[in-house]
Amino acid sequence: MKEEILFTMKSPYRDDFKIHGFRFGEGEKTIAIVGAMRGDEVQQQFVCSQIVKNLIEIEEAGKLIAGHEILVIPSANHFSMNINKRFWAMDNTDINRMFPGYDKGETTQRIAAAIFEHVKDYKYGIQLASFYMPGEFIPHVRMMDTGFQNIKLAKKFGLPYVLIRKPKPYDTTVLNYNWQIFGTQAFSIYSGDTDTINKDTAKTAWTSILRFMNNMKIISQNKHEGHSSYILKDSDLETIISNQSGILYALKGAGDEIKAGDLLAKILDPFTGETRSSILAPTDGTIFFAHHKPLIHQSTVMFKIVRF
């Protein structure tokens, strides 16, 4: 393993900003893994740290298959993580909306350009991603429908679901989209949580990445085959929107199987505790996403359900 400083930027306060990379093996640029690009992506950084830990052990055991190079970037925004801020601490911009970047532009454009310069030539790219809304997911692989995606490869992670989504105009500036446009087979892994560490879903995520590398003959390590992934599109998900604001008293979470009419949650009056709204399941299925903040606004996505 070689630890490198991939990017350095002078800081007016405390230490300089540095992006660390960990390289394993030599040869073809085979796989790049990028972790936290937002300051609240603690789960994503934890997953990457465990990948690095596992790869060190695999390398020491002589189980890296010759001719492959692996690059892991656990964090690209630890400045914001240090002060519990989701976006870039200075100007509140999102690094993952700046790709492919511009090395003479604003700060986050320069960071994105530096990351992309290091990862754009790899055959496979994996991003540990987070959703824009607070909540928990069933761990899954997400790909953009750019015409370059490869669903068969996505199934090699052995996660329960592979979600294919049509990119929106603003998606053209994210890492996953630009990876695909520049010829990398790109995958986003959603590991269930964001600002807290869930050891179970985190292990599911890093094990799936090691399983992918084993299936692609990058490492030699016996792994359980995992799930026979079910392919989803956005249209396959039933979305439940809150009709009131208040305290969210959730009764069901991601991964729970439900039947039409089941009580999923209550929205309570924050002063009296009275039930303002009872949220019932509109269909049989499995909860794919569940909002988990204790307070909820009206017209907020509460649940996404995979219909049976």
CATH code assigned at 273: 2.40.50.100
**Domain boundary at 228, 258, 285, which?**
228
The pLDDT value given to residue 308: 85
Verify that 71 and 90 share a domain, yes or no.
Answer: yes
Q: Which ranges of the chain have pLDDT less than 70?
A: 13
Please count the structural domains in the chain: 2
The pLDDT value given to residue 15: 81
From the list 43, 66, 63, 45, the residue with the least C-alpha distance to 55 is 63
Q: Kindly report the length of the chain.
A: 308
The pLDDT value given to residue 170: 86
Verify that 203 and 244 share a domain, yes or no.
Answer: no
Verify that 189 and 269 share a domain, yes or no.
Answer: no
Verify that 208 and 243 share a domain, yes or no.
Answer: no
Beta-strand runs (E) in the chain: 2-9, 17-24, 27-36, 67-75, 124-129, 135-137, 140-144, 161-165, 185-190, 230-233, 237-241, 246-250, 257-258, 263-268, 275-280, 285-291, 295-296, 301-307
**Domain boundary at 206, 228, 250, which?**
228
The pLDDT value given to residue 223: 75
Verify that 188 and 67 share a domain, yes or no.
Answer: yes
φ, ψ for residue 223, nearest 5 deg:
-135, 145
Torsion of CA 181, 214, 194, 301, to 10 degrees: 60
Total-model pTM: 0.93
Verify that 171 and 250 share a domain, yes or no.
Answer: no
The pLDDT value given to residue 260: 97
Verify that 108 and 247 share a domain, yes or no.
Answer: no
Verify that 94 and 195 share a domain, yes or no.
Answer: yes
Verify that 73 and 211 share a domain, yes or no.
Answer: yes
The pLDDT value given to residue 133: 82
Single-letter amino acid, residue 209: I
Q: Domain residues for 295?
A: 235-307
Distance CA 133, CA 291 (A): 8
Verify that 123 and 207 share a domain, yes or no.
Answer: yes
**Domain boundary at 228, 251, 271, which?**
228
φ, ψ for residue 121, nearest 5 deg:
-95, 5
126: domain CATH number is: 3.40.630.10
Single-letter amino acid, residue 169: P
Verify that 170 and 246 share a domain, yes or no.
Answer: no
- Largest Cα separation within the chain, whole Å, is 65
What one-character DSSP code corresponds to residue 92? -
**SS3 for 220?**
coil
Verify that 62 and 125 share a domain, yes or no.
Answer: yes
